[in-house]
Amino acid sequence: MSAKARFASYFRNPIFLRGFGYGGIFTATLSFYGFVFDNWRSQKKKEKDAEEQLKIAFEDGDKVTRGQSILKYGSPEMGNGVRYYSNFALVYDQQKRTPAWVAEQITANLLKGTANRKHSKFKPDPGVPEMFSAENSDYWKSGWSRGHMAPAGDNKYNQESMNESFYLSNVVPQNLDNNAGFWNRLEMYCRDLTKKYPSVHVLSGPLFMPKGEEDGKRYVKYQVIGQNGVAVPTHLFKVIVVEDKLGEPVAMATFIVPNEPINFDHKLTEYQVPMETLEGVVGMKIIPKLDRQIVGDLCEIEGCKLMDRTEFELYFIGRKLGSANTLHRLDKVWGELEEKKLQPDQYLKDLYNRKLVELGKTEEKTTQEGVR
DNA sequence: CGGATTGATATG
DNA sequence: CATATCAATCCG
Which pLDDT score is estimated for A41?
85
- Whole-angstrom Cα distance, residue A98 to residue A232? 9
Is strand B within 7 Å of residue A312 (CB)? no
Q: What is the pLDDT of residue A336?
A: 84
Q: How far is the CA of A137 from the C1' of C1 (A)?
A: 20
**Any strand B atom closer than 7 Å to A141 CB:** yes
Whole-number Å distance between alpha carbons of A28 and A46: 27
A211 near A230, Cβ under 8 Å?
no
pLDDT at position A27: 60
**Which residues have a Cβ under 8 Å from the Cβ of A324 and sit 6 or more positions away?**
A330, A333, A355, A359
DSSP for residue A75: P
Helix (H, G, I), strand (E, B) or coil at A272: strand
Count the neighbouring beta carbons within 10 Å of the beta carbon of residue A62: 12
- A222 contact to strand B (CB, 7 A limit): no
d(CA A370, CA A372): 5
Q: Is A217 exposed, middle or buried (0-12, 13-18, 19+ CB in 10 A)?
A: exposed
Single-letter residue type at A262? I
Fold of A82-306: Extracellular Endonuclease; Chain A (3.40.570)
In this structure, are residues A198 and A111 in contact, taking their beta carbons and an 8 Å threshold?
A: no
Angle at A87 between CA A157 and CA A268, to 5 degrees: 90
**Distance measured from the CA of protein residue A199 to the C1' of nucleotide C2, in angstroms:** 50
| Residues of A belonging to the active site | 148
**For residue A177, which nucleotide's C1' is closest to its Cα?**
C12
Distance A47 CA to C6 C1' (A): 66
Which amino acid, A146?
Answer: R
- Determine the distance from the C-alpha atom of residue A116 to the mean position of all C-alpha atoms in its chain, rounded to a whole number: 21
pTM for the full predicted model: 0.86
What is the rounded distance in angstroms from the CA atom of residue A23 to the CA atom of residue A17? 10
A267 touches strand C (CB under 7 A): no
- What does the alpha-carbon distance between residue A112 and residue A342 come to, in Å, rounded to a whole number? 28
- Whole-number Å distance, CA A227 to C1' B9? 27
Which of the nucleotides lies closest to A119 (Cα–C1')?
Answer: C6
pLDDT at A30: 53
Q: Is the CB of A117 under 7 A from strand C?
A: no
Domain range summary for chain A, segments of one domain joined by +? 3-70, 82-306, 311-371
Positions of chain C reached by protein Cβ under 7 A: 6, 9-12
> How does strand A235-243 pair with strand A211-212?
unpaired
Q: What is the pLDDT of residue A228?
A: 93
Residue A291, C-beta contacts closer than 8 angstroms, at least 6 positions apart: A249
A122 is near strand B: CB distance < 7 Å: yes
> Are the C-beta atoms of residues A82 and A189 closer than 8 Å to each other?
no
Q: Rounded to the nearest 5°, which phi and psi values hold at A105?
A: -130, 115
Helix or strand run (H / E) with residue A181: none
Q: What distance in Å separates the CA atoms of residue A273 and residue A254, rounded to the nearest whole number?
A: 6
> What's the CA gap between A106 and A178, in Å, rounded?
22
> Which is nearest to A100 in space by CA: A131, A125, A72, A79?
A79
Q: What is the pLDDT along chain A (372 residues), one digit of tens a residue?
A: 455 554 455 444 444 444 445 555 536 655 655 666 578 788 888 888 888 777 766 777 788 989 999 999 999 999 999 999 999 999 999 999 999 999 999 999 999 998 999 899 999 999 999 999 999 999 999 999 999 999 999 999 999 999 999 999 999 999 999 999 999 999 999 999 999 999 999 999 999 999 999 999 999 999 999 999 999 999 999 999 999 999 999 999 999 999 999 999 999 999 999 999 999 999 999 999 999 889 999 999 999 999 999 999 999 888 888 888 777 788 888 888 888 888 888 888 888 888 888 877 776 666 665 544
| C1' (B3) to CA (A227) span, angstroms | 22
